[in-house]
Amino acid sequence: MSSFGIRSLNRRSFLHAGGCTAAAALMSSSRLYADFNGLVDNMMREAKTAKVNVIPLGSNLFVIENTGGNITVLDGPDGKLMVDAGISGSHPQIIAALAGISANPLKEVISTHWHFDHTGGNPWLHEAGARITAHQNTKSHMVVAKAVTPWKYTFPPTPAPGLPTRLLNADTTFSMNGMHINVTHPKDAHTDGDLVVAFKEGNVIATADTFWNGYYPFIDREAGGTIDGMIRATKANLAMAIESTKIVPGHGPIATKPELQEYHDMLVSIRSSVMKLKISGATVEQAVAAKPTANFDAKWGHYAVNPDDFVRLVYNSGS
């Protein structure tokens, strides 16, 4: 609905919510998330005391920020649907945030991929009554001990209550609370199990970790992620969006289509530079030393994925 277009949101409150959060994220990024060392432990520890923000998007849609990946919530008489579950340690803040939205019960959780900052809350959300939906590849990563080598971390299998019970292997559309919800699976992007969730009447797209707004994104190569898939997913996200669409990234503030376009152009440019080096015979560390991201680092290089690590991710996942 155009009346809920992002530019028609109260501009001051939008800037306050998005701007301050982005600034806070940048401050904490330089303190905690400047690279992959200790990343998971730091995020898990910080989640316990994180101050969670709830941003209304109109049409009974909300974003819960600052508990790992962004959480999109659809509220209404059919019950609440959540896109992602945050980090397990933020569970008291998420309960309070959900209660602050309404007393409607929690019914559905869509896990956009297997990472801890998106599925950590699954076990308690299941106990609270939610059914969990995910791509079948996401479940396959959750049932085993799964390493993310760049993070120097191996995650234990997810306890059974946190596993998805409704598995998708194809795009699907369903209705809830009067909203048409379109779930698509971009192939081999951030992982091989990503889901993107579009709320038609709400004019909102939750891109999950195919989009980090303002930051170089992580690409989980060991779980099937590729730079080419990230670019394809971003093209598909752009094709779904119109000028007024509110785009909820996996990380970073809520975005507009021009910001998603800028992210796309950044990915394409860096992929091209890194693959030229790779094809010319440069080793991965020679590619890093050539600083192919230099023109982008001031804007994109200040969160969990630093410029050198992003070059490694692109080099190793590009073909």
Residue with smaller CB distance to Zn ion, 9 or 227: 227
Q: Which stretch binds Zn ion (CB under 5 A): 154-162, 205-213, 241-249, 276-284?
A: 205-213
Q: Starting at the edge strand that comes first in sequence, how are the strands of the sheet with 80-83 ordered?
A: 53-58, 61-65, 71-74, 80-83, 106-111, 131-135, 166-168
* Residue ranges in 100-129 that form contacts with Zn ion under rule CB under 5 A: 115
Beta strands, E only, the chain: 53-58, 61-65, 71-74, 80-83, 106-111, 131-135, 146-148, 153-155, 166-168, 172-176, 179-184, 196-199, 204-212, 246-251
Residue with smaller CB distance to Zn ion, 248 or 275: 248
293's CB contacts (< 8 A; 6+ apart) are: 216, 270, 273, 300, 301, 307, 310, 311
The answer to whether residue 209 forms part of the interface with Zn ion (CB under 5 A) is yes
Phi, psi of 67 (to 5 degrees): -130, 65
Residue with smaller CB distance to Zn ion, 177 or 207: 207
Residue with smaller CB distance to Zn ion, 115 or 257: 115
Q: Which stretch binds Zn ion (CB under 5 A): 101-109, 193-201, 209-217, 300-308?
A: 209-217
Is residue 41 within 8 Å of 143, Cβ to Cβ? no
* Residue ranges in 44-73 that form contacts with Zn ion under rule CB under 5 A: none
Residue with smaller CB distance to Zn ion, 14 or 212: 212
CA dihedral 137, 139, 145, 148 (to 10 degrees): 50
Smallest distance, Zn ion to C-beta of residue 267, A: 16
Smallest distance, Zn ion to C-beta of residue 189, A: 10
3-state secondary structure of 53: strand
* Residue ranges in 231-270 that form contacts with Zn ion under rule CB under 5 A: none
Is residue 89 within 8 Å of 44, Cβ to Cβ? yes
Residue with smaller CB distance to Zn ion, 105 or 157: 157
Smallest distance, Zn ion to C-beta of residue 1, A: 30
- The two three-digit tokens of residue 93, written as one number: 């803040």
d(CA 222, CA 252) in angstroms, rounded, equals 24
Residue with smaller CB distance to Zn ion, 195 or 275: 195
Residue with smaller CB distance to Zn ion, 108 or 209: 209
Smallest distance, Zn ion to C-beta of residue 178, A: 30
Is residue 250 within 8 Å of 293, Cβ to Cβ? no
The answer to whether residue 188 forms part of the interface with Zn ion (CB under 5 A) is no
d(CA 36, CA 225) in angstroms, rounded, equals 17
Smallest distance, Zn ion to C-beta of residue 208, A: 7
Smallest distance, Zn ion to C-beta of residue 283, A: 27
88's CB contacts (< 8 A; 6+ apart) are: 44, 47, 116, 120, 121, 123, 124
Smallest distance, Zn ion to C-beta of residue 115, A: 4
Q: Which stretch binds Zn ion (CB under 5 A): 15-23, 171-179, 208-216, 234-242?
A: 208-216
Residues in the interface with Zn ion (CB under 5 A) total: 2
Residues that bind Zn ion (CB under 5 A): 115, 209
